[in-house]
Amino acid sequence: MIVAGYVLGSMPFGYWLPKLVKGVDIRTVGSGNVGASNVWRTCGPALGIAVALLDILKGVAAGLLGRLVGDELIGVLAGTAALAGHYRPLFLGFARGGKLVATTGGVMLAIAPLVSLCGAGVWLAAFLATRYASVASLAAGASLPVFALAFGESWPVLAFTIGAAAAICALHAGNIRRLRQGEERRASFSVSSRLRSLSRPAR
């Protein structure tokens, strides 16, 4: 189940969908990240949402498979492997992948649905308030251990939320730096903004 979780997590939908639909190598535009946020900014909301949903689903699949075959602990381990696969995807030659946010939400949906839904609510509220996907992701990640404690989740689930929150924070170090310098880009729904992102080389 750990191997299966890693393979599931390794499916780089943020790379595959833009390449298939628009012929764009997402690693060469915008931030160069293969996550849903960069796909949203450079290829539009529809494709960004599709990538986010697929990244969530692969986390759900890993967690559910682990729980069905074993127990909650196996579900957590398979889910952790899915995060590792998302970060270093087998299908991209172990190059750097996404920042774990959507896949973490999917794993939590499988092993602790209430915690996941509350975290999603935090993400949505923070995003609507700031239009910064990075701020929303950091806030949602930090909220997971709090909700896990509040709902009395088991120690494997609590450990997973703490580890995931720490990993999300670490992987957003560049975003945190740009936020402090006032250089972080807000989400935009305009076509002209997406065209500028497509013409900008990855940094």
> Tell me, what's the pLDDT at 138?
95
Average pLDDT of every residue of the chain:
90
User: Measuring CA to CA, which residue among 117, 107, 121 is closest to residue 160?
Assistant: 107
Q: Does 200 fall in a domain?
A: no
Instruction: Write down the pTM of the prediction.
Output: 0.86
User: Measuring CA to CA, which residue among 105, 97, 99 is closest to residue 122?
Assistant: 105
> Residue 203 pLDDT > 80, yes or no?
no
Q: Does 202 fall in a domain?
A: no
Q: Does 197 fall in a domain?
A: no
Q: Does 50 fall in a domain?
A: yes
Q: Does 196 fall in a domain?
A: no
> Tell me, what's the pLDDT at 55?
96
**CA distances from residue 148 to 118, 155, 172, 198 in whole angstroms, order as listed:** 10, 9, 22, 39
> Tell me, what's the pLDDT at 189?
55
Q: Does 18 fall in a domain?
A: yes
Measured CA to CA, the distance from residue 128 to residue 133 in angstroms comes to 9
- What total of structural domains would you count in the chain? 1
Measured CA to CA, the distance from residue 197 to residue 203 in angstroms comes to 11
Q: Does 193 fall in a domain?
A: no
Q: Does 55 fall in a domain?
A: yes
Domain span holding position 51: 2-188
201 - beta bridge partners? 29
**Mean pLDDT value across residues 55-76:** 94
